[in-house]
């Protein structure tokens, strides 16, 4: 959850004092390991669930403060943005029916969160990245008002020295700048915890690193960001860039981002991880420290290692080492952060069972991973899995190259089953959860593939906003049914929300982003051809830096062509007839305001500009289509009258179902 009682001051003396506490905590940790003070007679598992809250359109619903006012369960807590929520499940003893218990606990807590969001006409959505999220949803206004988040944002912005730059390439490409860490809130995950002894830690942790790639490949659920089709698990690339403090000018240095996979195998102790992270990453947050851990040990107490835990919470390894206390005994655990949220609870528990079984079994088989796999291969496999999912090729322990799906079905699922049996997990549960992984991998339908195939099915119909809204609403409805994702039918546009008015919509919901533009020195003859070839009525004029400088409408062009007697040699440049500095709007402007602006000025198109750069255009023809959809919805056209499609279901249950 993270410590919220933090300071964001950058006073050098305070930072030095905090660093001194960090060194004391590491010293105390080493002493506890040497004196064998850690719990070792039980192995526990646990999980954390992150969720999105969405409105009736399937778009982010920033209602966290309303939810917390209703909430009485201390396990349900805030996250970075006002439309995220998290809950933490109680730890379970590993073995027996622990996964059924985990599934029931997750279902119960999700139902509890649903009961908290329904009064705000909202629902929850389990996905790694919310398809409907737009850049305007990540302004600082949407940051949850907690000191930790503002302090973290200030610290990272100070180190970064400017806005964050995001570049992710997949089927599409995303290039964007953003001036805060808010894009971290795009990501939600299902994090699993595995308690191990200090002696086991290096072996188990290294195996967790080794199996990260195949476990992620089977679980991908984040293929979209701002409507762009990027990595199968785009969350991996986005999270790293969201809190990256490195400068692009330091390309000759080997610098690690704060979100990272690691740099080498752990050799002897968990303290290697903490020492490396303290050495590499500056202190971002401090807090009031009232404990001397070494003195606490001398007094026979168990230190909380406050400084170490706070710093560890600002370094985001995909497999993170964690220290905790149960009762009066300290323990160590591996926190697996690679798995995305969703698509359903049973999918998440299946992903967890696969990971636990694999880590346990391979840790028994391989005492030293470094002898059978190079660390760079493990790291490369992880990135390949994030990029390509089940289509990845992995370098595995025997030096062979294997397709991800074959490696999982032929070699790793049997290993995971053996690992679960050795832990005493009930056979029916092994068959149930690993069977879901088997069927998902054989079918190829992960959460990411379902999203991408659903969008492909809707290609060419509706606006981008309508397609993404339909995708999200369809996802929510299938999640409520609870069947695993490999059994889902594809989403259809008819599952989306058709508004009866333009209320709560924005320009970016309807604007065109696939633009054909010209430079002001190009000829108007070329503009005429461009309009003819691409069947468009407005051509935008931009400079070399994608700044808007003008607009040419078909009326302006026709008037010019009708009045001129002959074309001069070399043609006439666009700048002579274009409308200079045309009226433009930001993407987050309310749709109604844009319509009023067009009516007031009697114009047929509005260029859309963000931070001085051209990002889209919205035209009168777009609004005619919007009006047609609204009329169809009002008159009941295209719903029950259409035999091919079923009526659109409400996103929430009826009052009767909800009360029951």
Kindly state the average pLDDT of the residues 424-443: 98
Identify the bridge partners of residue 393 per DSSP, sorted by sequence position.
403
Q: What three-state secondary structure class fits 417? A: helix
Kindly state the average pLDDT of the residues 9-25: 88
Kindly state the average pLDDT of the residues 548-567: 86
Output the six-digit token pair for 354. Answer: 């696969």
Tens digit of pLDDT for each residue in 476-488? 999 999 999 999 9
C-alpha–C-alpha distance, residues 294 and 303, integer Å = 8
Report the alpha-carbon angle 342-344-346, nearest 5: 115
Q: In the structure, what pLDDT confidence band is assigned to residue 160 with cuts at 50, 70 and 90?
A: confident
Q: Please identify which residue in the block is written with the tokens 């009736």.
A: 56
Question: Minimum mean pLDDT among 14-18, 488-492, 498-502, 541-545: which range?
Answer: 498-502
Tens digit of pLDDT for each residue in 394-420? 999 988 899 999 999 999 999 999 999
Distances (CA, A) of 387 to 237, 267, 339, 392, 492: 9, 29, 14, 8, 26
Reported as type and span, the H/E element at residue 193 is strand 190-196
Tens digit of pLDDT for each residue in 250-272? 444 556 788 899 999 999 999 99
Identify the bridge partners of residue 123 per DSSP, sorted by sequence position.
54
How far out from the chain centre does Cα 532 lie?
A: 41
Tally of CA atoms within 13 A in the half-sphere of 74 that contains its CB: 1
Q: What is the mean pLDDT of the chain?
A: 90
C-alpha–C-alpha distance, residues 62 and 39, integer Å = 41
Kindly state the average pLDDT of the residues 577-591: 91
Q: In the structure, what pLDDT confidence band is assigned to residue 163 with cuts at 50, 70 and 90?
A: confident
C-alpha–C-alpha distance, residues 489 and 495, integer Å = 12
Same-fold call for 12-428 versus 507-621: no
Residue pair 204/269 in contact (Cβ under 8 Å)? The answer is no
Q: In the structure, what pLDDT confidence band is assigned to residue 46 with cuts at 50, 70 and 90?
A: very high
Contacts of 238 (CB under 8 A, 6+ apart): 129, 166, 168, 183, 186, 187, 225
633 vs 550 pLDDT, higher one = 550
Q: Please identify which residue in the block is written with the tokens 């320009």.
A: 507
Q: What percent of the chain has pLDDT over 70?
A: 90
Identify the sign of the CA torsion 327, 328, 330, 331: negative
C-alpha–C-alpha distance, residues 24 and 308, integer Å = 9
Kindly state the average pLDDT of the residues 415-428: 98
Q: What is the DSSP letter of 486?
A: G
Q: Which residues of 474-495 are buried (b: 16+ CB within 10 A; e: fewer)?
A: bbbebbeeeebbbebeebbbbb
C-alpha–C-alpha distance, residues 115 and 123, integer Å = 9
Say what the pLDDT of residue 644 is.
Answer: 39
Give one DSSP letter per residue of 373-390, joined into a string: S-HHHHHHHHHHHHHHGG
Say what the pLDDT of residue 462 is.
Answer: 84
Domain edges within the chain:
12-428, 507-621
C-alpha–C-alpha distance, residues 429 and 426, integer Å = 5
Tens digit of pLDDT for each residue in 59-118? 999 999 999 999 999 999 999 999 999 999 999 999 999 999 999 999 999 999 999 999
Kindly state the average pLDDT of the residues 356-366: 97
- Does the structure show a pLDDT above 50 at 643? no
Residue pair 318/41 in contact (Cβ under 8 Å)? The answer is no
Contacts of 46 (CB under 8 A, 6+ apart): 88, 89, 90, 91, 92, 192, 193, 333
Kindly state the average pLDDT of the residues 111-126: 97
Tens digit of pLDDT for each residue in 223-244? 999 999 999 999 999 999 888 7
Which segments of 554-601 are extended strands (E)? 579-580
Identify the bridge partners of residue 87 per DSSP, sorted by sequence position.
49, 76
Residue pair 446/218 in contact (Cβ under 8 Å)? The answer is yes
Say what the pLDDT of residue 656 is.
Answer: 35
Question: Minimum mean pLDDT among 29-33, 41-45, 623-627: which range?
Answer: 623-627
Say what the pLDDT of residue 173 is.
Answer: 95
Identify the bridge partners of residue 425 per DSSP, sorted by sequence position.
96
Q: In degrees rounded to 5, what are phi and psi of residue 81?
A: -100, 160
C-alpha–C-alpha distance, residues 608 and 359, integer Å = 50
C-alpha–C-alpha distance, residues 635 and 628, integer Å = 10
- Does the structure show a pLDDT above 90 at 580? yes
- Does the structure show a pLDDT above 90 at 501? no
- pTM listed for this prediction: 0.86
Say what the pLDDT of residue 386 is.
Answer: 98
Reported as type and span, the H/E element at residue 123 is strand 123-125
Say what the pLDDT of residue 194 is.
Answer: 98
Residue pair 634/499 in contact (Cβ under 8 Å)? The answer is no
C-alpha–C-alpha distance, residues 64 and 434, integer Å = 35
Q: In the structure, what pLDDT confidence band is assigned to residue 249 with cuts at 50, 70 and 90?
A: low
Reported as type and span, the H/E element at residue 271 is helix 271-280
Residue pair 358/211 in contact (Cβ under 8 Å)? The answer is yes
Pick the CATH number of 507-621 from 3.30.365.10, 3.40.30.160, 3.10.580.10, 3.30.300.20: 3.10.580.10
Q: What is the DSSP letter of 521?
A: T
Say what the pLDDT of residue 67 is.
Answer: 97
Say what the pLDDT of residue 105 is.
Answer: 98
Say what the pLDDT of residue 136 is.
Answer: 87
Residue 373, exposed/middle/buried by CB under 10 A (0-12, 13-18, 19+)?
A: buried
Range 12-428 classified under CATH 3.30.590.20: yes
Tens digit of pLDDT for each residue in 210-223? 999 999 999 999 99
């Amino acid at each position: 959850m993270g410590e919220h009682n933090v300071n964001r001051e950058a006073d050098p003396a305070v930072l030095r004092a905090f660093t001194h506490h960090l060194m004391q905590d590491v010293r105390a940790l080493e002493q506890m390991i040497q004196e064998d003070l850690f719990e070792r007679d039980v192995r526990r598992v646990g999980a954390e669930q992150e969720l999105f809250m969405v409105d009736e359109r399937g778009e982010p619903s920033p209602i966290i403060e309303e939810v917390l006012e209703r909430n009485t369960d201390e396990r349900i807590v805030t996250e970075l943005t006002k439309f995220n929520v998290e809950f933490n499940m109680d730890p379970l003893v590993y073995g027996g029916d622990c996964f059924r218990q985990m599934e029931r606990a997750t279902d119960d807590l999700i139902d509890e969160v649903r009961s908290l969001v329904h009064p705000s006409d909202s629902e929850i959505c389990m996905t790694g990245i919310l398809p409907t999220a737009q850049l305007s949803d990540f302004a600082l206004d949407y940051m949850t008002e907690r000191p930790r988040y503002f302090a973290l944002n200030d610290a990272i912005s100070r180190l970064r020295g400017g806005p964050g730059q995001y570049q992710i390439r997949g089927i599409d490409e995303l290039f964007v700048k953003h001036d805060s860490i808010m894009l971290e809130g795009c990501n939600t995950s299902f994090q699993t915890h595995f308690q191990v002894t200090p002696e086991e830690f290096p072996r188990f942790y290294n195996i967790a690193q080794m199996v990260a790639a195949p476990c992620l490949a089977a679980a991908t659920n984040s293929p979209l960001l701002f409507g762009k089709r990027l990595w199968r698990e785009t969350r991996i690339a986005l999270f790293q860039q969201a809190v990256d403090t490195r400068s692009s000018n330091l390309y000759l240095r080997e610098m690690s981002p704060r979100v990272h996979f690691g740099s080498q195998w752990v050799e002897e102790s968990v303290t290697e991880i903490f020492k490396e992270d303290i050495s590499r990453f500056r202190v971002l947050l401090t807090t009031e420290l009232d404990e001397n851990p070494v003195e606490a040990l001398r007094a026979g107490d168990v230190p909380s290692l406050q400084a170490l835990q706070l710093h560890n919470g600002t370094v985001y390894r995909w497999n993170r080492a964690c220290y905790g206390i149960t009762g009066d005994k300290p323990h160590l655990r591996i926190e697996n952060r690679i798995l995305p949220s969703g698509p359903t609870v049973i999918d998440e528990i299946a992903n967890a069972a696969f990971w636990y079984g694999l880590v346990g079994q391979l840790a028994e088989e391989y005492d030293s991973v470094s002898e059978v796999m190079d660390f760079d291969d493990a790291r490369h496999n992880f990135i390949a899995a994030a990029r390509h999912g089940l289509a990845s090729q992995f370098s595995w322990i025997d030096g062979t190259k294997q397709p991800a799906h074959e490696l999982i079905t032929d070699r790793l699922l049997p290993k995971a089953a053996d690992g679960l049996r050795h832990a005493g997990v009930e056979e029916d549960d092994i068959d149930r959860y690993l069977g879901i992984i088997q069927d998902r991998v054989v079918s190829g339908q992960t959460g990411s593939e379902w999203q991408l195939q659903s969008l492909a099915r809707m290609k060419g119909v509706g606006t981008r906003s309508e397609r993404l809204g339909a995708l999200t609403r369809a996802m929510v409805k299938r999640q409520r049914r609870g069947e695993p994702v490999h059994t889902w039918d594809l989403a259809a546009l008819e599952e989306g929300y058709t508004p009866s008015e333009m209320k709560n919509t924005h320009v970016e919901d309807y604007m065109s982003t696939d633009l054909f533009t010209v430079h002001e020195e190009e000829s108007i003859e070329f503009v005429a051809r461009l309009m003819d070839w691409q069947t468009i009525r407005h051509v935008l004029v931009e400079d070399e830096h994608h700044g808007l400088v003008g607009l040419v409408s078909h009326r302006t062009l026709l008037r010019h062509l009708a009045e001129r007697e002959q074309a001069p040699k070399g043609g006439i440049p666009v700048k002579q007839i274009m409308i200079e500095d045309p009226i433009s709007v930001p993407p987050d402007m309310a749709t109604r305001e844009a319509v009023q602006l067009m009516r007031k000025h009697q114009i047929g198109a509005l260029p859309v500009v963000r931070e001085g750069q051209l990002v889209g255009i919205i035209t009168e023809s777009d609004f005619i289509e919007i009006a047609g959809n609204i009329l169809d919805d009002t008159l009941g056209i295209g719903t029950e009258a259409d035999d091919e499609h079923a009526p659109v279901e409400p996103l929430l249950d009826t009052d009767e179902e909800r009360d029951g």
